[in-house]
């Protein structure tokens, strides 16, 4: 069982090292579908008052024109990121009319692929590429899968943290390489233990049958419209969600940056027969997808965590990582919590910080093929039946009760929480632990159990449940007050984004086909 070593605990007992733990950076990305008052997917275009989705730094769309995405700046204090997210909600609700933001990760009422509008980003080459990529997702998978929403939690440890750790470990190489190795150490441990996050925070055990649109499934029927699994935590992360045969064939390696880039490059450059049959364009010359490879671009690979680096204009993500190393990680396995107006709470964020710091500091050997298969089985088991009484997982080939393993992990995560408490002169990190320990002792306290309890006790369908809470959040956010300065700032950002979009469209100097050739020629 990986532990925080005495050397690590001693290092962070020193003031200079503790100081670095006050400079952890956080950013939150939150997706939510726009719906009608009756919980149908909105067919209206992105509200012009919110600005241009291509260029707005904080309010954009993901796959669908109806799938809003809020992006906070990075902050040292997660409370500041959550406050920024709240302000974006307040501002957006004032420009949505009677539409609502859907509170669940699994979508509202869908009426077939034809009624799921693909996001539009204007006529520029970069905007066209974003829309064609999304058309490719529709051609390769289905549109319904792309309406699933979630929380992405961005986490970055300061450069000084890596410098101190490098000195403590006597590493004589470049700081950039050491930092990238450190983030991949975090990622490997995250892969080992992310089942715990799915158990604690999964909130999608049920869905509307309209999501499956006649596809085969193994779900049980709760009522005329609601399908579910009795012990599931996150159907969003199951094979009903971001999965495909092509994705299942990928073998992306997380043991280091070089192997990660190598395997990802191979995936975005290897033709795939079923996608070749679709073709790049239709008979009228309209683009159906960006290319016919296993992945069109890096972002098509659906992982529950990603190593990231801020890209320059027009730069491919793998080129940015290769040139400048890993800058932060993006956690992607978090469901929207329907009971939280923002979809995520401060308590959850403080626990995530403790969990991720533990993953960064604990020993993290490379993952071989056998362990990789074991990790995937553990993860899928918790996704589909994480609350089943007596559920066992596999650890290095041996069976272990989920609750026993979770309790042992919580002890180690508690050590990381104490480091953060001491550095930040607070108790909020340690205070985030009791609620999680309680969920391990009593699965009925998990969000997934609470969702099913609400459906059963109130005799509500999944859609009725989501609508009721969405209406409550709608009333709250519509009534919230933004100070005049913040309201004017968001109005100005919207105006600027529209102007920047127009400038980008006017500045294009090559046709779209040439633009794509130049983009994919990057190495």
pLDDT over 80 at 134, yes or no? yes
Lowest mean pLDDT segment, chosen from 32-36, 237-241, 428-432, 480-484: 237-241
DSSP single-letter state for residue 76: S
- 269 close to 293: Cβ distance less than 8 angstroms: yes
Residues 6+ away with beta carbon under 8 Å from 202: 232, 233, 234, 236, 237, 335, 382, 383, 386, 446, 447, 448
Residues 445-474: pLDDT tens digits? Answer: 999 999 999 999 999 999 999 999 999 999
178 and 162 in contact (C-beta within 8 Å)?
yes
Both tokens assigned to 269? 């450059």
Could you give the CA distance from residue 4 to residue 361 in angstroms, rounded to a whole number? 6
pLDDT tens profile 463-522: 999 999 999 999 999 999 898 999 999 999 999 999 999 999 999 999 999 999 999 998
Domain 6-518 is found in CATH 3.30.590.20: yes
What number is the average pLDDT over the span 267-294?
Answer: 94
What is the domain partition of the chain in residue ranges?
Answer: 6-518
| pLDDT tens profile 202-239 | 999 999 999 998 788 999 999 999 999 999 999 999 98
pLDDT at 61 over 80: yes
Taking CA 522 as the corner, what is the angle to CA 520 and CA 523, rounded to the nearest 5 degrees?
A: 120
What are residue 206's phi and psi, to 5 degrees?
A: -145, 165
| Number of neighbouring beta carbons within 10 Å of residue 269 | 12
Q: What is the mean pLDDT of residues 263-291?
A: 93
pLDDT given at position 244 = 64
pTM metric for this prediction: 0.96
For residue 240, give the nearest of 133, 76, 107, 399 by alpha carbon.
107
Half-sphere exposure of 99 (CA within 13 A, CB side): 24
Tokens of 170: 């006597």
User: Alpha-carbon distance 408 to 392, whole Å?
Assistant: 14
SS (H, E, C) 422-483: HHHCCCHHHHCHHHHHHHHHCHHHCHHHHHHHHHHHCCCCHHHHHHHHHHHHHHHHHHCCCC
| Residue 451: closest CA among 181, 161, 236, 249 | 236
């Amino acid at each position: 069982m990986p532990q925080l070593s005495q050397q690590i605990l001693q290092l962070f007992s020193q003031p200079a090292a503790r100081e670095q733990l006050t400079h952890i950076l956080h950013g939150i990305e939150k997706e939510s579908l726009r719906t009608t008052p009756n919980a149908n997917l909105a067919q209206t275009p992105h509200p012009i008052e919110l600005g241009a989705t291509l260029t707005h730094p904080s309010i954009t769309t993901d796959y669908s024109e109806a799938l809003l995405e809020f992006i906070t700046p990075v902050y040292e204090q997660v409370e500041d990121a959550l406050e920024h997210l709240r302000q974006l909600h307040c501002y957006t609700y004032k420009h949505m009319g009677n539409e609502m933001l859907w509170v669940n990760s699994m979508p509202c009422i869908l009426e077939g692929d034809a009624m799921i509008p693909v996001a539009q980003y204007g006529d520029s080459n970069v905007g066209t590429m974003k829309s064609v990529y999304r058309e490719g997702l529709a051609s390769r998978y289905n549109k319904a899968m792309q309406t699933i929403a979630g929380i992405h939690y961005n986490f970055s440890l300061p450069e000084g943290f890596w410098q101190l750790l490098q000195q403590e470990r006597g590493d004589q190489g470049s700081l950039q390489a050491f930092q990238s190795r450190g983030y991949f150490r975090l990622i490997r441990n995250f892969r080992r233990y992310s089942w715990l996050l799915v158990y604690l925070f999964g909130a999608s055990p049920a869905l509307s049958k309209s999501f499956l649109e006649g596809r085969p499934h193994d779900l049980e029927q709760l009522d005329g419209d609601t399908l579910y699994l009795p012990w599931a935590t996150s159907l969003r992360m199951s094979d009903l969600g971001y999965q495909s045969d092509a994705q299942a064939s990928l073998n992306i390696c997380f043991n280091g940056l070089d192997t990660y880039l190598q395997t990802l490059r191979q995936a975005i450059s290897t033709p795939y027969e079923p996608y070749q049959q679709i073709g790049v364009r239709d008979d009228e010359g309209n683009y159906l997808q960006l290319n016919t490879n296993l992945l069109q671009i890096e972002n098509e690979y659906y992982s529950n965590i990603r190593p990231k680096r801020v890209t320059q204009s027009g730069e491919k993500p793998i080129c940015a990582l290769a040139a400048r190393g890993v800058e932060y990680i993006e956690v992607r396995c978090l469901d929207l919590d329907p009971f939280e107006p923002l979809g995520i709470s401060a308590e959850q964020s403080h626990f995530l910080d403790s969990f991720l710091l533990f993953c960064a500091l604990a020993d993290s050997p490379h993952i071989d093929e056998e362990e990789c298969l074991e990790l995937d089985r553990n993860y899928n088991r918790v996704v589909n039946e994480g609350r089943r009484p007596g559920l066992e997982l596999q650890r290095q080939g041996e069976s272990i009760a989920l609750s026993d393993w979770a309790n042992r992990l919580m002890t180690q995560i508690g050590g990381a929480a104490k480091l953060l408490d001491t550095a930040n002169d607070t108790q909020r990190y340690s205070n985030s632990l009791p609620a999680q320990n309680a969920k391990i002792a009593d699965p009925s306290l998990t969000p997934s159990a609470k969702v099913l309890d609400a459906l059963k006790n109130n005799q509500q369908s999944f859609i009725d449940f989501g609508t009721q809470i969405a209406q409550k959040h709608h009333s709250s956010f519509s009534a919230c007050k933004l100070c005049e300065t913040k309201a004017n700032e968001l109005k100005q950002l919207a105006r600027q984004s529209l102007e920047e979009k127009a400038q980008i469209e006017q500045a294009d100097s090559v046709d779209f086909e040439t633009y794509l050739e130049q983009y994919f020629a990057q190495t």
